[in-house]
Amino acid sequence: MSDLICVAAIAGAFGVKGEVRLKSFTADPLAIGEYAPLVTEDGQRSFDVALAGQLPNGLLVRLSGVSTKEEADALKGVKLYVPRDRLPALPDDEYYHADLIGLTVLDTGGTTLGRVKAVLNHGAGDILEVQVPGSSDTVLLPFTLEAVPTVDLATGRIIADPPEGLF
């Protein structure tokens, strides 16, 4: 498990005064400022966040230390992180995406199906992208209680009961 968790990504500049379009990955996108300061992946920069408004598919925010369009443009694509200990504790049946990536996926008989490469969400629920062993192929496994009855973070395993023919 990583010490830093990605909570947002800068989508680009907005206007000429240094505001940015921000994609928030928090449960309540409007609460992104409560997690500040946000840091870049390399830890070189840190930002306080002031919500300035909502935009389609994101938020309009001011980041501390960013006052020009050029400075905001230079941050496009930068992911912002917070230390894990600043995130709220989750109920037993909920997981941070970062905790699932890299886990081994086994079927109910104990056969290895692969390793979680990514957690995707296109609006209808989470999907695990599972890298098939010895191949560049991936399989998209619905992250539902029916298809994934067991997640064991302590042992780094997911037990899956995938729909017939998926793997």
Fill in the DSSP letter of residue 36.
P
Structure tokens given for 167: 């793997």
CA distance 162 to 106: 10
CA distance 72 to 158: 40
Digit-coded pLDDT (tens) for 10-25? 999 999 999 999 999 8
Can you give the pTM of this predicted structure? 0.74
Q: How far is CA 7 from CA 34, 37, 80, in A?
A: 11, 11, 6
Give the number of other CB atoms < 10 A from CB of residue 13. Answer: 21
Mean pLDDT of the chain: 92
Digit-coded pLDDT (tens) for 82-139? 998 888 888 888 888 888 999 999 999 999 999 999 999 887 889 999 999 998 999 9
Digit-coded pLDDT (tens) for 27-49? 889 999 999 899 999 989 999 99
Walk me through the domains of the chain, giving residue ranges and CATH numbers. Answer: 4-86 (2.40.30.60), 97-160 (2.30.30.240)
Instruction: Region of 15 please: left (phi>0), alpha (psi -120 to 50) or beta.
Output: left
Higher per-residue confidence, 165 vs 48: 48
